[in-house]
Amino acid sequence: MPKSRYANVKRNSKAKKKDADQSWTAPAMWSDDRYKIVKSAFDAVDEVARQMQHKWGIGKLERLASPQLAISFNRARVNFSDAANGDDENYMAQKAANLIAGWKALEASAKKNGFNPTQGAVMYLIAPDDAGGGSYAVIGHGCDSKAVTEPVERVYTADEVIRILKRWEGTHFGDMASKVKEYFPDAEITKLDSTDKEATPDDQIPF
């Protein structure tokens, strides 16, 4: 079963493993002639979830919903996840359609209650002096680039920022920073020493 980025589909953890070393096995429908059917249903749900979360923000529609609607939506999400872990392609397609309808119901409810989506929202940033003081814009997705109306030096998507950070975390200083953030989530990096050379055991701590 493919990895879900937005639809929040999880591998079935209800079945108890007989052996500690026994690994999870995907249902047969994910490897036989039904694969294209279930993959299409899976991708359709993930795409709708991606669009909704890019438009409104991650988790915002659920927070704007009434308790009853939020519970119904979460039930539809769990049912789809269970269906994706089953072996009935028709049942999965049905639950996929239900979850897509659930996303649309969340959006309709939010609009009815006077809320507006944040699609195309741009975060304009001025770099600190020690980082050059340049102007930047960060957008949620590449398709939002036309929403950048102010002059900036560079525009990055959220995914690009994450990729850059992930690459940086593989360096000596980046690894140290990621560990600090892991153990002290509220910590703030206020200055970075030159990364032209790797630190040696005799170097002072760069923070």
| pLDDT per residue as tens digits for the range 119-152 | 557 888 888 888 888 899 898 888 788 888 788 8
Is the model's pTM score more than 0.85? no
Beta-bridged to residue 154, according to DSSP, are: 136
Are 91 and 149 members of one domain?
A: no
Are 85 and 144 members of one domain?
A: no
Q: Are 48 and 100 in contact (CB under 8 A)?
A: yes
Token pair 């079935």: residue: 12
Are 79 and 152 members of one domain?
A: no
Confirm whether 18 is domain-assigned.
Answer: no
What's the domain count of the chain?
2
| pLDDT per residue as tens digits for the range 12-69 | 654 444 444 455 577 888 888 888 988 999 999 999 998 888 778 778 899 999 999 9
Domain boundary among 88, 112, 136: 112
Are 100 and 173 members of one domain?
A: no
Range of the domain at 153: 122-183
Are 54 and 104 members of one domain?
A: yes
Are 32 and 98 members of one domain?
A: yes
Domain boundary among 112, 139, 168: 112
Are 34 and 98 members of one domain?
A: yes
Confirm whether 17 is domain-assigned.
Answer: no
Confirm whether 6 is domain-assigned.
Answer: no
Question: What phi and psi, each to the nearest 5 degrees, are found at residue 87?
Answer: -140, 35
Are 40 and 106 members of one domain?
A: yes
Are 70 and 36 members of one domain?
A: yes
